[in-house]
Amino acid sequence: MELEGESDATASVQAMERLHLTARSFSDTERNLMLKEKIRSALDQLREVKALVEGSHDTFVPLSINEQPLLELKQLLLMHVPSSITDKARQRFVMLIDQALGDRCKKIVAGVVLTCPWYAATQKERGEQAKHNMLLVVVMNDDRQFFSPANLQTKEAGGVVDMGWLSVVELFHFGRFLVKGRTRYVETAFCDKDSLVYSSDEWQHLRDQLSVNTVTGLRPFQEACCGQAMGSVAKKRQNGGMKLKESATLAEICEAFRLLNHAHNHHDNRPPVTNGLHPSSLPETALQALEKLKALYKDPDVSKQDIFACLCSWHDALRGRLKQTKFSDQKAVVAVVGEWMTAARLQGRTLDPVKGVSDCHSRLLQLMLEIGGPLTKLTPDQVLLVARAGSYMYGLSTPDSDTDYVVVYRDKTQSVLSACSRPSECFESRGPEKQLEYGAYEARLLCEMLLKGSVVILELVYQGDHEYVSPLWQQLYDNKEKFVTELGIQQYLGLIKNNFTMIHSHKLKDTGRERKLFYQIFHKMACIRHMLAGEAPLVRVTGPVRDFIMDVRTKKLEGELSRESLLSKATSEYDTLRHQLANRLFRLPENPDYEFVTNWLLAVRGSCFG
């Protein structure tokens, strides 16, 4: 059923498509080049508008904040140091955090007020002590967001909102940087009870399971404390050594001492300093610096250089201790944090085994052994598809054709849930010396490429007859029409255009690779004609189309098959196709069905996420 405004949106896009086609014939003057660019930009915008109207614009939604309560939340934050937060103030924090984030995520995991005790020690008034406070909130997105097929960089960027005084981070982002020893996240995990304004059961479980000294003993944490302390306030002298930056403020110098204090506390089996200093635990150099910092607040004439000398002395002493330090095992921390993130996301649900193996189980095992490499490490239920790609899939192979496999697999859901780093989602073995080539893609990466209209991936879905098809992959094939879109047509046209560019460059003239460029052009144009009829393309060509393409592949290029004749025929058919596309009165959906792809990926991860 056509949605309101869809016909008008279609007409607008098609009008711009015709103008875009007309503009291709314009000479490349400076004015015309600018005009062409504006037309291309307008066409892209109109396509986006039509996608919004028809509902095919759905995509990953990044983490966001309701701004209405932020002013009051910031005022509350800057009124308190951790030790001054009463039960009433804590309740107010919780209420405002919930108003800002409650409907934007699945669960709020923790809220922590982070301050600099060194800076607070130099100030008398509580308002001044709290001047540089920061509120860090850890949240957990719902399953659809976490398992989204969106680009990994997009998901990672969409899992953080940083406003300076307020930082909101998704569970994966927090876990990822906690195991890397990122100082702010270590402070957050092991803050004292006064700094904790909200704590869920999951947060308490993390604090119970994770040893503070194990995390502060991570090499990245220790090196970050020392490196960031100096890097934030010092710069190199031309003749060697370090000097204080002229722009270094009192707050920045105090932050540097705070970081060194963290490193020092580890050696004394103390947690990071997050609320109030303990002078009795500080070395003499640090005590001297503290007194000078207090004096600097009262008397601007106190020498910052003397304070910097104390900083350098303490830094050098800690650096020296690092050489004798036995650092914590990062894998052990990753295991604990990974298990914690898994339990938090599951919320008591059980991971059911994914029934992804079809009846041809023995054939799959045979294929896995034949392909070899990392594929042999997968279990059969992880394999979703094994396909012979390239000319074989098109029905155009010759005895000289390479053997090229494409494999689609799924990482174990337990591994996805517990991952503390970006996973490797693709492994390939290709090259002219290879007798058998293959490329393997994880399910999420496959979905991302599907949504981008990748021709190679679309053709895997359009073609039903493969070497091995799991029940889960069959669901994609049964819904292949959902991937017949304007975006797909544009990707096919882009491949054709690139082939024409290579042919016109003469770089591959009279070579076998140029034959391949020609036959790909004719094959892809045949596919687009099917899409114009609203059908999934017949990837494996038959009849006269196959006969002609096989002639291009195998026969001597002369007469009607000469390079000039082929180029003329290809150009003529391409121009006709572009005119058909521009002059039609209808359009396909602009983009694939994001909701369908997400649901399929959730099914791949397990029935408990449906």
Structure tokens at 13: 């896009």
Taking the alpha carbons at both ends of the chain, their separation in whole angstroms is: 27
pLDDT digits (tens, 9 = 90+) for 265-282: 999 999 999 998 989 999
Structure tokens at 410: 């799924």
* Confidence at residue 375, expressed as pLDDT on a 0 to 100 scale: 85
Segment-wise mean pLDDT, segments of 10 residues, the chain, 610 residues: 80 96 92 95 96 92 96 98 96 98 95 97 94 98 96 95 98 97 97 97 97 96 96 89 92 96 94 91 95 86 90 96 93 98 96 65 84 88 93 88 92 96 90 83 98 97 94 96 98 98 92 91 96 94 92 90 95 97 96 97 89
* Confidence at residue 360, expressed as pLDDT on a 0 to 100 scale: 64
* Confidence at residue 402, expressed as pLDDT on a 0 to 100 scale: 84
Per-domain residue ranges of the chain = 1-55, 70-322, 361-478, 486-590
CB neighbour list of residue 1: distance below 8 Å, 6 or more residues apart? none
Number of other residues whose CB lies within 10 A of the CB of residue 451:
24
If we measure between CA atoms, which residue out of 57, 2, 44, 51 comes closest to residue 594? Answer: 57
* Confidence at residue 433, expressed as pLDDT on a 0 to 100 scale: 74
State whether residue 180 is helix, strand or coil: coil
Beta bridge partners of 403: 436
* Confidence at residue 610, expressed as pLDDT on a 0 to 100 scale: 66
If we measure between CA atoms, which residue out of 501, 548, 503 comes closest to residue 523? Answer: 548
Structure tokens at 105: 């995520």
If we measure between CA atoms, which residue out of 182, 175, 173 comes closest to residue 152? Answer: 173
Q: What is the pTM of this model?
A: 0.92
As assigned by CATH, the class of the 361-478 domain is: alpha beta
Give me the sheet containing 436-442, strands edge to edge. 426-429, 436-442, 403-409, 383-388, 468-469
* Confidence at residue 341, expressed as pLDDT on a 0 to 100 scale: 98
- 311 neighbors 255 (Cβ within 8 angstroms): no
pLDDT digits (tens, 9 = 90+) for 513-567: 899 999 999 999 999 999 999 999 999 999 999 999 999 988 998 999 999 999 9
Where is 383: in which H helix or E strand?
strand 383-388
Reported in sequence order, the residue ranges of 249-317 that DSSP labels E, i.e. its strands, are: none
What CA–CA distance (Å, rounded) separates 128 from 521?
A: 70
362 φψ region: left (φ > 0), alpha (ψ -120 to 50), beta (else): alpha
* Confidence at residue 354, expressed as pLDDT on a 0 to 100 scale: 62
Contacts 24+ apart (CB under 8 A), 14-21: 14/582, 14/583, 14/584, 14/585, 14/587, 16/42, 16/43, 16/46, 17/43, 17/581, 17/582, 18/582, 18/583, 20/582, 21/578, 21/579, 21/582
CB neighbour list of residue 503: distance below 8 Å, 6 or more residues apart? 514, 517, 518, 567
DSSP 269-287: T-----SS--GGGS-HHHH
pLDDT digits (tens, 9 = 90+) for 113-136: 999 999 999 999 999 999 999 999
* Confidence at residue 176, expressed as pLDDT on a 0 to 100 scale: 96
* Confidence at residue 374, expressed as pLDDT on a 0 to 100 scale: 84
